[in-house]
Structure 1
Amino acid sequence: MTIWLDFLGAEIRYVETPSFGRTRIAESGHGKPETLILMHGIGGHIEAYSKNVVPLGKHYHVVAFDFVGHGLSEKKTDIDYTPHVYVEQLLELMDALGIEKAHISGESLGGMIAGFFAIKYPHRINKAILNTTGGIPIVTEKGRQDLKNLAELSARNFGKLPTPESVHSRMQWLIYEGNWNLLTDELIDSRLALYINPDFQKVAPLVFSRLAKAASGDTTPDMVELEKIKCDTLLFWTLHNPIHDVAAAKSALPRLPRGKLYVMKAEAAHWPQYEAPQEFNDVVHRYLQTGEV
């Protein structure tokens, strides 16, 4: 099945926001009483949620969107691409769509943004799902080695025009090796087309600046103050998540006042919503409805 068959039934459109310009969204489930917002990781785009928007739209008004500087959203060169900028984009998008309150789920960078948003705007969030999120401490030697490997992979590609081979290597890092069959030509080519776009090339050094600092060892990571998240929060994890492994999630869990942890049964790494979409969709729906996993 192709990405666009997965998206069949969703609406792909653009929404204007005051500070961040045009934002591309994928939307389904119009008229459902509860809204669920899905957010991708650094360098990602809405195609990361192609297997989730329509199935979850049977139960929720679902909105996945491209962060500013990403995908086909506005490419701004006059902002700092910090987590707090993405938080404000999320707020403006919710206002533009008339969404007063939503469940918010994010993967990797998107999980960090969900956490920061829950702290700053607690009255605008119902439940939070932090999916293989960043913004928590690395607690094992394997996790620290994973970070070093990512920094080295990123360093080899900084300043170079992306190629099918470099995109493929980066996406192999996202997905458990037993699932590399999911890395189809369409998936690689769609990301490559977004990356070689001249507008993206202008903002890429800004978007990836934190990875560049990590590659040089000169960075202070953004950390989510989990103790300040007051809403029900699910840490959604996998057995093979790089950097922040299961031990990191277990260490973070006691810091969440109303937290739960779910570790996927399916073999998956950093992209569980794409690697095992049936389990992801079922667990998300169960948690949002019952608070249980």
Structure 2
Amino acid sequence: MTAQAALPTLHEATYDTGRQKIFVAKAGEGPAVLLLHGGGPGTNGVSSYVRNIAALARDHQVIVPDLPGYGRSTKGVDPADPFGHLADGVRGLLDRLGLEKAHLVGHSYGGACALRLALDTPDRVDRMVLVAPGGIGTTRALPTPGVNRLLNYYTGDGPSRQKLEEFIRRYLAFDDADITDSAIEERYRASLDPEVVAAPPLRRPSGRGALRTIWKMDLTRDARLTRLAVPTLVVWGAADKVNRPSGARMLADRLPDCDLYLAARTGHWPQYERAERFNRLCADFLTGSR
């Protein structure tokens, strides 16, 4: 969404990781924390964390990429292993930034990316905040209405402003009172990028190997989860209509070092809907306070 809170000065750059180019906005100094955004149509890094960047930049170097497939980064995500593709991109970005290790904050699609990166290379992750992450228990029940809206955005009669507005107002936020029409229009226009329309980064697995892909995308079935020692904070909205809040308990039961915060009267966007509380939780957790 468009900024509704003062942002610090952002330093922008694009990094070539070899496989793709990733656009990044940075602010602040200190230990590095990457903010990884969700997978909704027309989204990008800064708009997803517009209410959090300034607060976290007080004590950290905040790095906000547009994930592969979104914003000003290279379009296209491997449909056979989307979480692995995103994780590889972020790991390549860490290499280009000269960071051996960093904190990760990941929302939804970005949360699945953060968790997959930590499972594959735990030595690259210091602490991790997972915000209603994707890929949690997804093979144990049918997709939620919110996930179906996301997966169907580019199918059928194609993208439309009505589709996007319905998703944002009805499924993304618990209370949409401060989401403006101009913010929706901005995201809708971004969702019409021809490269994205041709190869949406978030889509329903299909064709040969689809079942294998679906199984791989349920990260709660990854045996490495119970051995992942990265300190983790899970934040979830109790009224989330996209990713089921029951996923929070799944993670807390499996991860050996996991704190859990379930926010009442909150939908799928806790870092925006409960920004002040979210920023305090993150700041405390990333500095080692609980």
Give unpaired runs (5+ residues) of structure 1.
none
Out of 163, 169, 172, the position equivalent to 1:172 is 169
Which residue identity lines up with residue 98 of structure 2 in the other structure?
G
1:40 corresponding residue in structure 2: 37
Q: Are 1:105 and 1:114, in contact at CA under 8 Å, matched by a contact in 2?
A: yes
Matched, 1:192 2:188: yes
TM-score by length of 2: 0.85
Given the superposition, is the C-alpha separation of residues 152 and 241 from structure 1 closer, same or farther in structure 2, using an over 3 Å criterion?
closer
| Identity percentage of aligned residues | 24
Given the superposition, is the C-alpha separation of residues 233 and 153 from structure 1 closer, same or farther in structure 2, using an over 3 Å criterion?
closer
- Counterparts of 1:271 and 1:283, CA distance in 2: 15
Given the superposition, is the C-alpha separation of residues 102 and 173 from structure 1 closer, same or farther in structure 2, using an over 3 Å criterion?
farther
- Counterparts of 2:198 and 2:138, CA distance in 1: 32
Give unpaired runs (5+ residues) of structure 2.
none
Which residue identity lines up with residue 230 of structure 2 in the other structure?
C
- Counterparts of 1:239 and 1:77, CA distance in 2: 30
Given the superposition, is the C-alpha separation of residues 209 and 279 from structure 1 closer, same or farther in structure 2, using an over 3 Å criterion?
same
Which structure is higher in helix share?
1
Shift, 1:64, TM fit: 1.3
TM-score by length of 1: 0.84
After superposition, where does 1:5-44 map in structure 2 within 5 Å? 6-21=6-21, 23-29=22-28, 31-32=29-30, 34-43=31-40, 44=43
SS in 2 for 1:210: coil
SS in 1 for 2:253: helix
Given the superposition, is the C-alpha separation of residues 172 and 217 from structure 1 closer, same or farther in structure 2, using an over 3 Å criterion?
farther
Given the superposition, is the C-alpha separation of residues 180 and 55 from structure 1 closer, same or farther in structure 2, using an over 3 Å criterion?
same
Which residue identity lines up with residue 277 of structure 1 in the other structure?
A
Which residue identity lines up with residue 15 of structure 2 in the other structure?
V
Which residue identity lines up with residue 250 of structure 2 in the other structure?
S
1:254 corresponding residue in structure 2: 253
Q: Are 1:239 and 1:269, in contact at CA under 8 Å, matched by a contact in 2?
A: yes
- Counterparts of 1:154 and 1:174, CA distance in 2: 13
Which residue identity lines up with residue 171 of structure 1 in the other structure?
I
Given the superposition, is the C-alpha separation of residues 95 and 42 from structure 1 closer, same or farther in structure 2, using an over 3 Å criterion?
same
Given the superposition, is the C-alpha separation of residues 153 and 138 from structure 1 closer, same or farther in structure 2, using an over 3 Å criterion?
closer
